Chain A
Amino acid sequence: MIIKFSHAVLLITVFLMTACSTGPAMQMENYSEPVFSADRILPEDAAERSASSVYDPWQGMNRRIYNFNYHFDRYVFLPATRGYQNVTPDIAEAGVSNFFDNLRDVNTFLNSVLQLAPKKSAQSLGRVAVNTTIGLLGLIDAATMFGIDRPVEDFGQTLGRWGVGAGPFLMVPVLGPSSLRDGIGLIPDTMVNSYLKEEIFGDDGAMAASVVDALSTRSNTQFRYYETGSAFEYETVRWLWTTKRELDIAK
């Protein structure tokens, strides 16, 4: 398995980035005046004062990927997730989720070391040690029962920690909101994760494990595209996600 799923995803993204131009700009001049217009009720510097602006030069492409993600979710991902939930007893679902979280804790440990963050390094290393042994190879989250907090660090955060800016907002196919920096960060994170899966399950088993991991992760994620009720969902997701990442990096 040389081409991993998320590598393929990134390649598609890069292709789309070069293939699509930016989103259609809004031309207000030739329209009749609505009841309330920006000119009438907003202060002149509204756009500059706006705290919710996010640098999004690839908006045209990003919105198309957002739209693609909705369809993929609705017709492929969510039905498969429901199937997974139907055939798996709740207790096994929890075990599967814990198992893959344990693998991700390894990645958190590596990134915590790269960030020179001793506490998070100790916590994540402690978690992996406890969960892999007492937690029966990660199936039980014993570390949380012992009160060891679970930091989550990825390579995007590591880059951010050392001063790399987020760059343009980026909607990643299937995976959702990200940024150029965090999208690049996915590559080493995925390589670590795939390496661990291959070591445990062998080359062919790793592929199946990745599918189960994806279904398990999706089943634990509440978000549904276009169901938030916000008429400005893309804008809101973009801003909240960007804010969350800033806070994660500062954490």
Chain B
Amino acid sequence: MVKHLLLRSCVVGLGLLLATSSWGATEEYGYPIKDKYVATVVGTPSEYWADLPKKIPFHTRRVSIFPDRQIPDAFFADSALLYSVALQNKAAPLIFLIAGTGSSHNGGTNKQQAKAFYQAGFHVVSLSSPTFSNFVISASSTGVPGHAEHDAEDLYRAMEKIHTILLDKDDIEITGFNLTGYSLGGFNSAYVAKLDEQRKSFNFDRVLLINPPVSLYNSISLLDRMAENIPGGIDNFDLFFNDLVRGFGEVYKRSSGDLGDNFLYDAYRALDLKNEELAALIGVAFRLSSASMVFASDLMTDFGYVKPKEMKVNRHTDLQPLARVVYRLGFTDYYHEYFYPYYRDNENAGSRDAFVKSESLTHIQDYLRNSPKITVMHNENDIILEPGEIDFFREVFGDRAKIYPYGGHCGNMSYRDNVAHMINTFTR
């Protein structure tokens, strides 16, 4: 408590000092972590969190999207799409949440968002990213995720099915529809909103894109390059990851009890990680997601990416040898050697360059520019953007873009100002 008050008064004092010295240029932003890598890894220390309920009725459910689909035995548990809901017991607006790359409907970020929106009076429906392996298996029409338009259609189909269930089985009253997503989920939200203009199942009132990429290819290239910071090179992926877990373990050992709210923050301070190591850590985290996504996809289509086509794999097969290979590969390997060839051969996707260009928000910028319902929340120092890419949002969205000076990639999403802005977007 003392530490809390001290910190708070320091921040307030600093804020006053800066405000008076720069004559109220802008109100001071109080998110405490200025470094982009640290913010991305550590997130928001708990004393800066918005005030949210500890527990809400947030329940996991499953819905069958393609009932007749044959799925690989290794993914036998993924025949139905997992999602979660938190429903009000009165008439209320509904918000769909879409998770970021490789993340699930009930991952930490979605859960936090669900609490904020539930508290603000919304029915909440939380969806996994189309890159989450359960989504790839159960709800992706092609089984090859990352395609802006297909992913949007897959999400839309799932949202429609869930909507029907909410009306028929839960018998809830919905007064309007809203949509938000972070990271790749923000990108997906833009394409889903555009699709909704034709299909009109929801007629969204408001859509908020949180820390989306501009160009998918640029962002995955940046993330792949981060993994190249692994000490000793990518051959040491396994060792680096192991060292990391042991490092965190050491911190856990010294800590009194469990992995608390500030565990990552404590670990970061105790381990004294250098910027390259933090970058490597981020790269590794994304690689773990991409590995599962790619492997699920490979089994779904039998493309022969890492699993030889004739090889039979079932739920009892030792997957370690294939895991070793797939963990060595990045998003760009997937893009060039599987994703693009797949769509070139199956859907006559154009040239590689044209395809790369079409997988972007730039591609739908006219729509975004002229849609007052769509807003953006982003950070000046987001690590998934190329230098200058942040200006795309200022230029296209104008005053519908709220750009914070720092926060890295989604690091400030739990910070109280950000949560307040997120809620205000949908309630004002």
Is A bound to B? Answer: yes
Contacts of A38 in B (CB 8 A): 321, 324-325
Q: Are B241 and A229 in contact (CB under 8 A)?
A: no
When the two chains form their complex, are residues B242 and A46 in contact, meaning their CB atoms are under 8 A apart? no
> In this assembly, does B296 line the interface, its C-beta being within 8 Å of a C-beta of chain A?
yes
The 8 A CB mask of A13-56 against B (1 = contact, 0 = none) is: 00000000001111010111111111001110011011111000
Q: Is the interface of A mostly helix, strand, loop or mixed?
A: loop
The number of A-B residue pairs with CB atoms under 8 Å apart is 139
Task: Tell me if A51 and B242 are in contact (CB < 8 A).
Answer: yes
- Contact partner, A243, options B104, B245, B291, B318, Cβ 8 Å: B245
State the CA gap A47–B321 with chains docked (Å): 8
Residues of B near A244 (CB, < 8 A) are 249
Report the nearest A residue to B246, measured CB to CB.
A243
Expressed in whole angstroms, the Cα–Cα distance for A240 and B77 within the complex equals 21
B197 at the interface (CB under 8 A from A): no
Which residues in B have their C-beta under 8 angstroms from that of A46?
A: 324
Cβ-defined contact, A41 with B325, below 8 A: yes
Q: Is there a chain A Cβ closer than 8 Å to B366's Cβ? A: no
Say whether A33 contacts B324, CB under 8 Å: no
In the complex, B211 has a CB within 8 A of chain A: no
B123-165 vs A, CB cutoff 8 Å, 1 = contact: the mask equals: 0000010001110000000000000000000000000000000
Which of B14-22, B36-44, B305-313, B400-408 lines the interface with chain A?
Answer: B305-313
Partner of A63, one of B104, B295, B309, B315: B315
Shortest Cβ distance from A64 into chain B, in angstroms?
A: 6
Asked if B82 contacts A227 (CB within 8 A), the reply is: yes
Q: Is the CB of A231 within 8 A of B325?
A: no
B319 touches A149 (CB 8 A): no
Question: A201 on the interface (CB 8 Å rule)?
Answer: no
A41 to B325, CA, bound (A): 7
With known contacts A34-B308, A247-B252, A64–B316 Cβ distance under 8 A: yes
Contacting residues of chain A (132-187) with chain B, CB-CB under 8 angstroms = 149-150
Whole-angstrom distance between the Cβ of A247 and the nearest chain B Cβ: 4
The yes or no answer to B231 lying at the interface (CB within 8 A) is no
Q: Which residues of B contact A111 (CB under 8 A)?
A: none
Candidate in A37, A46, A70, A230 with the most chain B CB atoms within 10 angstroms: A230
Complex: A63 Cα to B60 Cα, angstroms: 25
Measured in the bound complex, the distance between the Cα atoms of B61 and A236 in whole Å is 24
- CA of A150 to CA of B255 in the docked complex: distance in angstroms? 11
Q: Report B-chain residues with C-beta under 8 Å of the C-beta of A64.
A: 316
Interface size range of chain A in the complex: 35 or more
Question: CB distance A251 to B104 under 8 Å?
Answer: no
Give the CA-CA distance A41 to B304 in the complex, in Å.
15
Q: A51-B239, A247-B252 are in contact. Are A35 and B305 (CB under 8 A)?
A: yes
313-365 of chain B: CB within 8 A of chain A:
315-321, 323-326, 328-329, 333, 337-338
- The residue that B310 contacts in the complex, of A26, A32, A43, with Cβ under 8 A, is A32
Assess whether A35 is in contact with B304, with CB atoms less than 8 Å apart: yes
Q: How far is the CA of A225 from the CA of B76 in the complex (A)?
A: 12
Q: Give bound CA distance, A234 to B323, whole Å.
A: 11
Q: Distance in Å from the Cβ of B386 to the closest Cβ of chain A?
A: 27
A33 / chain B contacts, CB cutoff of 8 Å? 308
Query: Is A67 touching B306 in the complex (CB atoms < 8 A)?
Result: no
B238 touches A51 (CB 8 A): yes
Name B309's contact: one of A25, A31, A70, A231 (CB within 8 Å).
A31
**Interface pair A49/B239, CB less than 8 Å apart:** yes
Q: Quick one: given A38-B324, A51-B239, are A226 and B305 in contact (CB under 8 Å)?
A: no
B274 close to chain A: CB less than 8 A: no
Contact (Cβ within 8 A) B257 A149: yes
In the complex with contacts A34-B308, A59-B318, A231-B253 CB distance below 8 A = no
Q: How far is B315's CA from A24's CA once the two chains are assembled, in angstroms?
A: 11
Which of these, B132, B249, B292, B321, contacts A26 with CB under 8 Å?
B321
Write out the residue numbers on chain A whose beta carbons fall within 8 Å of the beta carbon of B306.
34-37
A75 contacts chain B at the CB level, 8 A cutoff:
no
Q: Which of A197-230 touch B at CB < 8 Å?
A: 224-227, 229-230
Which of B252, B323, B337 touches A235 (beta carbons < 8 Å)?
B323
Answer whether residue A95 sits at the interface, using C-beta atoms and an 8 A cutoff. no
| Bound form: Cα–Cα A55–B166 in Å | 47
Interface residues of B in 86-103 (CB under 8 A from A): 102-103
Q: Which residues of chain B have C-beta atoms less than 8 A from A250's C-beta? A: 253
Query: Does A126 reach chain B (CB closer than 8 Å)?
Result: no
Q: Which of B221-267 contact A (CB under 8 A)?
A: 235, 238-239, 241-243, 245-246, 249-250, 252-253, 256-257
Q: Report the 5 A-B pairs with minimum CB-CB distance, sorted nearest first.
A: A31-B308, A51-B242, A226-B77, A231-B295, A231-B292
**A–B pairs, 17, beta carbons within 8 Å:** A23-B318, A24-B318, A31-B311, A32-B310, A35-B303, A36-B325, A36-B337, A50-B238, A51-B242, A52-B238, A229-B128, A229-B289, A231-B323, A240-B245, A243-B246, A247-B252, A251-B253
Chain B residues in contact with chain A, CB under 8 A? 60, 74-75, 77-78, 82, 102-104, 128, 132-134, 235, 238-239, 241-243, 245-246, 249-250, 252-253, 256-257, 288-289, 291-292, 295-296, 303-311, 315-321, 323-326, 328-329, 333, 337-338
Further pairs besides A24-B318, A36-B337, A243-B246: 9, Cβ < 8 Å: A26-B318, A32-B309, A35-B337, A49-B238, A149-B257, A226-B77, A229-B134, A230-B133, A234-B319
Could you tell me which A residues sit within 8 Å of B by CB distance? 23-26, 28, 30-38, 41-43, 46-47, 49-53, 59-60, 63-64, 67, 70, 149-150, 224-227, 229-232, 234-235, 240, 243-244, 247, 250-251
